[in-house]
Structure 1
Amino acid sequence: MAVVAMVANFSFAQTTIDFTKQAAKLKDKVGYTLTAEGYTFEADKAAGTTVPTQNTTSKDLRHYAKNTLTISGPAMKEIVFTMSVAGKKQWGDVTPSEGQVTVDTENGITTWTNTNGSTTVTFTVGTDNTYGSNKSKKAAQFDLASVTITGDAAGKTKQPANLAFSETTIDHEVGTEFTAPTFTKETTAAVTFVSDNEAVATVNAEGVIALGGEEGKAVITASSEENDTYSAGNATCTVYVWHYNVYKKAAAVESGKKYMIVAQRDGNTYYAIPAKESYNYGYLSTFNVEGTVDELKIKSSYDDSFAFETLDDGFSIKDCYGRYLYMDTKHNSFQFDKEKSEAWTVEADENGTFSITNNGKFIQFGSGTYTSFGAYDKLQENAVLPMLFVLNDNESGINGVTNDNTVKNGARYNLAGQRVNNSYKGIVIENGKKFVVK
């Protein structure tokens, strides 16, 4: 719900947006976008380890240490953030890209001001729980129930520039047809376009986006200056370019190869993901797909693999952050250390699983009702031993990015025999092979 009011004897336009009545558009492993009353809120994981989101129960917007929140729209002179119930418990500082911030803990608000006005401002969440009531939690959060934005004088309000790309995010698989989004505007001012990574995506003076030839992420920004009729404006389109890494069920382990740690139970296939980079220990959480498959396809922008290297009479296991996994004598969770590598013995079983052991404990999936990997000295109730899916370099390699309109992949079909496009997620069949698209 949004409320627009005139305050201070009609001198300023004030808009209040209740986030709990809004629906943010979540972006996988990135953050979210929310637009209300002409303002756009874009949250990004940035340098943090936790992805900002909208809580499914309380509906407040949650931001974590080192996340960024960018607010853009008509010229803003003051933004009053009202902390949610959760936000008051782990309340951290935020640093704005311009302007000043003050904190009122008694009333549960953080206030940003800029007397010159801003059409875009980015806030970066700090690292420490500075103002929160729950002092047992050290990490900062910036969780919002609502926001009140005060802008230019009502009698002087200008029309919004309304710069917009038809898509704010493009998720492009290498080798498939690339269709550039369209760009529209209402302002009569000149619009400038820039790409922060032309190796991945470029943009011309008309706002037409093209691929640059490399994988990665590029943010395309359109911006216009204020004129007599229109406010200044901007719009962004984020382009992700990637290929699929193909992992196939392995019967043995080779040194120097990358593997997914996989388990199959109750008709599902689960695969481990590395613990957060800041963790020194923990169980390995999982993603799962329906069905028991012999092949997984994972976007190259996600590195969920583990490298196995020969060490003594076994193998070291290292995650994507360069941390070695090992077990201590007290815990069933993994220990993580970039310097300390220990050997795991790896023995293949006839049923396709592996016994992977360190310090007398062997890796298992799903102890009791859990859907994570740990290591134990005895087989746990309901647990299964892991499989290993090896990265298939031949099928994961790419030959560069192309802008032509020819689809390089073969036709894909779901299990019902219906042809599906490249955005379809789940089990698909292509060229007679069955695999999972994440």
Structure 2
Amino acid sequence: MNKFLRLTLAIIFAFVCSWSFSQTRFDFDKEGTTLLGLSGESSSESSSGDITEAKTAKIGNISITVSAKEEGTKTPNRIWHKSPKLRMYSGTMTIASSDKKITEIQIVAGKWSGKANNGTLTNTKSNEQTWTGSENTVVFNISDNTQIDTITVYVEGEAAPVTAPKISGTTPFTESTTVTITADEGASIYYTTDGTNPTKQSTAYTAPFSVTATTTVKAIAYDANGKASEVSTETFTKADKVATTGDGTLEKPYTTKDALALIAGNANTTDQVYVKGIISAITEVSTKFGNATFTISDDGKDQETIIVYRVKYLDNTSFTAEDQIKVGDNVIMKAVLTKYKETSEIAKGYIYSLNGNTTTGINKIINNASDENAPVYNLAGQRVDKSYKGIVIKKGKKYFNK
């Protein structure tokens, strides 16, 4: 009797264990170059992350093969230097399992333009695509800009885990930051702020809360059956006080020296601030993408410079000509202060003022200019003929040509 009972319990135990969840997760943001065997990440200065031939990432029995770009497509598929890092513009992404059938694929993507050759693909969240079916191979055909962070693959016989909660807030921060924790619908969230791992006995999350000092927040989610997720961890760092001559307003913009000091002190900004400087070098003016990358300093020389990365032109409009800016120009930027790896940058903004000139919109529109012989220019500063339609500049004033 005891032998039979032991055997029965062993069978039940084996059955339960066989259904314990596991999944294969490809984190292209953290390990993209390693997973695909690339020498580095691509940027405006480097192509080391470009995928010039099919590359395969493999973990266990699961593989993901990313093709090179299709013929006729200008931009290569690549691992980019900014998140989301796996960037595809054409070609295919093939996900395969060498043994069990794939039943679910979760793709976290900032942008998505893929279609699956089988199964069902749904947009389950704003930045998540979920494929379901029962196949050994799934092919996604990419037709446009697709930016992938992570891909998680589940196979037959594996139960999907409880999704770990997402912890969000601003870091670094100056005075305080509001922390928000989210999880799947119906899940209960518990968290700690003392560095210990949370359990059901920890503080239940019911609403956003504020922290005023450097704090590590850990959170866990439980589904309706009591199954727990993995623990999520985020540290919110209070920035050191930095003495500056400006305050980041239009009336008193930061100097480039201020901006460098703020970034060095982890006082990056999420909101746009004003920074003034003199262009010391120009890296690129892209009329295709309408942005420019250059460096500025307080005196226009190549010391204590900061990179202004891919910003727009006056009035947040696109660059239309490479000569719209030049070395020695005085600029006031409206952008955020940030740091990429070890590089301080002014980014996600535009040139507010160029040599004292700004564009604040058209306050007065006049039909049919009076001086017929005066030269006519478009808003990009290019001379045009009298047949040009739209807004033009004549004798320093804006007019509308019908």
Query: TM-score, normalization: structure 2?
Result: 0.29
Higher-strand-fraction structure: 1
Query: TM-score, normalization: structure 1?
Result: 0.27
Higher-helix-fraction structure: 2
